[in-house]
Amino acid sequence: MNTRAAAVSRPTILLAAGAALALSLLAIVNPVLGIHVPPTFVGENVNSCEDLGLSGAGWNLAAASVQAGTHTYTNGAWSITITADAAGADGKNFSFSNASPPVLKLAVKAGDGYYLYDYSPGGATADTGLITPNTGDNDPEAPQAGLSHFFICFGQSQSQSQSQSQSQSQSQSQSQSQSQSGEGSVAAGTGTPAESQPNTAMSFGGSNPLPTAAFGLILLASLAGLAFANVKAARSRS
C-alpha cells in the first residue's frame, strides 16, 4: 500500500464513521412509530374500552362511515387516517396511520366476533395488515366477514399527560409545604392525587434505540482505530 492510497482511504474511513454515528443518532431522535402486532380473535361483540380491558371512552367507527381508499376520520380530539380496500361492510383489509393520540387497542368487528390489535402500553400511530375475522366463528375454512365497525381506544396526548404531571407535582408540593409548616389537615374523603399516566404520545411501540446507538459507537471506534493504523503504516513506508 502506498502513501497516496493511504491518503485516499483515510477520509473515506472517516466519512463512513460519521455516517454510522449519524444513523445511530437518527434512531434515537426519530424512532419508527408503526408496528404490526398479531391479532387475537374474540368471539363476541365489542362496544366499549372496558370490553377491551381498558377504562375511559372509546370510538365506535361504524362501517357505514368508512370509505374505500385513504381517508382521515375525526371525533373530537381523536383523529386517525384509515386505508380500506372497500367501502362500508364490503371492507375486509385495512391499515391506519397518523393516529392522534396513539392507539392503545383497536378492534375490527365482523361476523361472529372481532380481531383485537393490542398496542398497549406504548401505543402506535400506524399499522398495516389489519383484517376482519372469518365467518362461522372465525372458521379457517370460511371466507372473511364484512366489516361491522371499528372500536378504537386511544392513549393520552402529550398535553394531557403533561397537565396531569403538573397537577400532581403541584399537589405534592402543597402537601409537603403543609406538612413542614404543621398547618392544615387532609379533609375527610379527600383522596391522594392520581398517578400520572404514561406519555403515550412519546412512546414508540416499545422500540429501544440503545442497541442501534451502541452499534454505531462501536463501529465508530473500530473505524477510527483502522484509520490510525492506516496512517501509521503509510508514514513508516514513506
Contacts 24+ apart (CB under 8 A), 188-197: 193/167, 193/168, 194/164, 194/168, 195/168, 196/161, 196/164, 196/165, 196/168, 197/155, 197/156, 197/160, 197/161, 197/164
Q: What is the pLDDT of residue 86?
A: 97
Residue pair 207/119 in contact (Cβ under 8 Å)? The answer is no
The single residue listed with the C-alpha cell 401505543 is: 123
Q: What is the pLDDT of residue 18?
A: 56
Cis peptide before 39 (omega within 30 of 0): no
Q: What is the pLDDT of residue 36?
A: 83
pTM, to two decimals: 0.57
Q: What is the pLDDT of residue 205?
A: 37
Tens-level pLDDT at each residue, the chain (238 residues): 554 444 445 555 555 555 555 544 443 333 335 568 999 999 999 999 999 999 999 999 999 999 999 999 999 999 999 999 999 999 999 999 999 999 999 999 999 999 999 999 999 999 999 999 999 999 999 999 999 999 999 998 544 444 444 555 555 656 565 555 554 433 334 333 444 344 433 333 334 444 545 556 666 666 667 667 666 776 776 6
Cα 17 from Cα 6, distance rounded (Å):
16
The single residue listed with the C-alpha cell 460519521 is: 18
Q: What is the pLDDT of residue 189?
A: 40
Q: What is the pLDDT of residue 126?
A: 96
Q: What is the pLDDT of residue 152?
A: 98
Q: What is the pLDDT of residue 13?
A: 56
The single residue listed with the C-alpha cell 434512531 is: 27
Residue pair 136/112 in contact (Cβ under 8 Å)? The answer is yes
Q: What is the pLDDT of residue 119?
A: 96
Chain centroid to CA 162: how far?
Answer: 18
